[in-house]
Amino acid sequence: MPTAAAPGGCPWRGPSPPWGGHPNGRRILRARARTGSFPLMPPEELPWKDPPGGPSWSCSGAGPLAPSAPRRRRRCSRLGCRLTTNHSRYEAADAVLMYHRDVCCQPQLLPPGPRPRSQLWVWFNMDPPSRSGHLASLDHLFNLTMSFRRDSDIFAPFGWLRVLRRPQNFTIPPKSKLAATVSSHWPAGSRPAKYLEQLRRHLPVDTYGHPERVLPARQLLATLSRYRFYLAFESSAHQDYLTRQLWRNALLAGAVPVVLGPPRENYERHLPPESFIHVDDFPAAHQLAQFLQEVARDPARYRRYFRWRTWLEPQVEKSWAARLCKACRVLREKGETFQPAPDLSRWFT
């Protein structure tokens, strides 16, 4: 399956392949189970171009989002895509996007046959393999995959690095505290929960997200920017599963991420090697704690973790609609040439 690699052999420089064209517009039907975990909130049909003064809409059940960037709206509008949740238009759709959680446990909720000959089915999933059950029931059904995995047909990361047109003088936010993390409700006994417990024996770590220390979304970046390090511990260690713990809470806030998740080499497919600290680089938690304290006391050493920001800027995907726009773009670029998706139960592990 093709991988959306960036030019120059630097995969962490952005997820989007070059723009392509296709003579025919495409309609994308998003097939969702009526009882799915993400109830549908948008109106029946959504033009990619927002109504005057109106917001972009979330297709995840969260309701309206803040307006997308005008540049993104114009780009999606030029593609000529139409998103519809009207299942009666199923036969006219060029592609059907199905979110894994909505159909995995009840295959009878898949679109009814016969399947239109030229129609493409896209398997869409942003959950890690450990929270994606019943994959085998969907084997041999889809033409394309769409997920956070780089080897998906449609690469939909939680975040990425944008290459700047000219160098910038990045200013490190003022720092007054050492380390923080936002709880992701890790199960007791899980690796992130156990490692955090061990680390706190040797290092002060402020933990947000508990009932006694709620961090409102509007204050998140401003609060976390005061910390030198952010513990971006992923709940699951899977290939390319780098969530907003990394992209938003650490990188957008201007803190140095201390990561726990997939191996270092997987992180380096998305980030420069000297932009983060991996817990696996240290035999024990107390050695990591000692290293962080040493770096915090040495301003020149700390600044090295920000040198990459001269030419790169972190981005976070905020809208489900933007992900669907990307699906439309990839469908155009591929034209009429597609290969069957792999067995999901073997590939998505």
Domain ranges of the chain: 7-157+317-347, 177-316
Per-residue pLDDT tens over the stretch 257-309: 999 999 999 999 999 999 999 999 999 999 999 999 999 999 999 999 999 99
- Spatial CA neighbour of 257 closest among 273, 244, 242, 276: 276
Query: Would you call 21 exposed, middle or buried from its count of C-beta atoms within 10 A (0-12, 13-18, 19+)?
Result: exposed
Strands 154-155 and 95-99: what pairing? unpaired
Q: What is the pLDDT of residue 113?
A: 74
Specify the DSSP element, H or E, that contains 200.
none
Report, as an integer, the average pLDDT of 241-256.
98
Q: What is the pLDDT of residue 72?
A: 44
Specify the DSSP element, H or E, that contains 252.
none
CATH of domain 177-316: 3.40.50.11660
Query: Would you call 303 exposed, middle or buried from its count of C-beta atoms within 10 A (0-12, 13-18, 19+)?
Result: exposed
CA distances from 281 to 129, 259, 263, 285 (A): 25, 10, 10, 10
Per-residue pLDDT tens over the stretch 110-119: 887 788 888 8
More confident residue, 99 or 321: 99
* pLDDT of 45 higher than 90: no
Q: What is the pLDDT of residue 107?
A: 73
* pLDDT of 216 higher than 50: yes
What is the DSSP code (8-state) at residue 133? Answer: -
| Whether 248 contacts 159, CB under 8 Å | yes
Report, as an integer, the average pLDDT of 73-98.
76
Angle, helices 285-296 vs 191-199, to 10°: value is 60
Please name the residue that has the structure tokens 């199923």: 90
Length of the chain: 349
**Which range has the worst mean pLDDT, 18-27, 133-142, 168-177, 334-343?**
18-27
pTM value is 0.79
| Whether 126 contacts 94, CB under 8 Å | no
- What is the number of other CB atoms lying within 10 angstroms of the CB of residue 337? 5
